[in-house]
């Protein structure tokens, strides 16, 4: 069975009922892939490329990844946190260098790396217009890394911005942890979280990644369900 390993942050992590209704993209991605592929989700809340490696999480992947497997690499939200030296990376130096380390781990084990640009936050300035957000330099740096290392890239950042603009400020709330007081029994307080996802958002943005893989084609499209309409 081919495995899809995921190295990423809270937007991708697998959640349990203690954090419900928060849902990660990696948690729902099995909806889009054939049964013979297994998702191994190492994504963890709050991690950057730096802290993920420093905590031995990439090492744990390296010990298990093998020929024919895939390594999905999706970071940016926490690499940009200048106030936290345990996570911060410079976009056009240390961030790119760290991404190349992830790529090498995959290739050294005859696995296939895939770079995925970070999901956009709900950074609306008004009902229709998104702000610039904080990801742009990291997106550009990841694209440069992909080109330099000849690695396929799924531009989730650009696709998610388009989805957010189309939905607008109010309609996009259902995708994120943005809801009124009392909506959830185990999360009774209101939430205005514009970063983390609920189930509908995770499925929507996972479908964009599937769409990107389908467009890349070849072995990256072969993992997806037949006749998948995206």
Residues carrying an active site annotation: 10, 192, 196
CA angle, 211 then 150 then 35, to 5°? 40
Would you state the structure tokens that stand for residue 147, as one six-digit string? 């080109």
Whole-number Å distance between alpha carbons of 189 and 206: 27
| CA gap 11, 24 in Å, rounded | 5
Q: How far is Cα of residue 29 from the mean position of the Cα atoms in its chain?
A: 11
Residue 172 DSSP code? G
Interatomic CA distance for residues 225 and 169, integer angstroms: 32
For 178, the token pair is 């943005």
Write a three-state SS string for 11-76. Answer: CCCCCCHHHCCCCCHHHHHHHHECCCEEEEECCCCCCCHHHHHHCCHHHHHHCCCCCCCEEEEECC
| Token duo for residue 214 | 């389908």
Q: Which residue has tokens 């992590």?
A: 13
């Amino acid at each position: 069975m081919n495995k899809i390993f995921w190295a990423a942050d809270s937007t991708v992590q697998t959640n349990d009922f203690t954090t419900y209704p928060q849902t990660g993209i990696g948690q729902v991605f099995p909806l889009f892939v054939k049964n013979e592929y297994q998702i191994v989700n190492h994504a963890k809340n709050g991690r950057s490329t730096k802290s993920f490696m420093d905590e031995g999480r990439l090492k744990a992947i390296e010990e298990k990844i093998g020929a024919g497997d895939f390594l999905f690499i999706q970071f940016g939200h926490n690499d940009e946190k200048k106030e936290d030296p345990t996570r911060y990376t410079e976009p056009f130096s240390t961030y790119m260098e760290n991404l190349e380390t992830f790529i090498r781990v995959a290739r050294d084990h005859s696995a296939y790396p895939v770079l995925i640009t970070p999901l956009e936050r709900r950074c609306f300035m008004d009902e229709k217009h998104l702000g610039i957000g904080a990801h742009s330099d990291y997106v550009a740096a990841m694209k440069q890394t992909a080109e330099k290392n000849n690695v396929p890239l799924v531009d989730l950042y650009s696709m998610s911005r388009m989805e957010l603009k189309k939905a607008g400020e109010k309609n996009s709330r259902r995708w994120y942890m943005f809801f009124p007081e009392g909506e959830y029994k185990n999360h009774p307080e209101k939430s205005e979280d514009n970063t983390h996802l609920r189930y509908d958002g995770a499925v929507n943005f996972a479908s964009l990644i599937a769409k990107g893989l389908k467009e890349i084609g070849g072995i990256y499209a072969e993992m997806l369900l037949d006749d998948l309409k995206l």
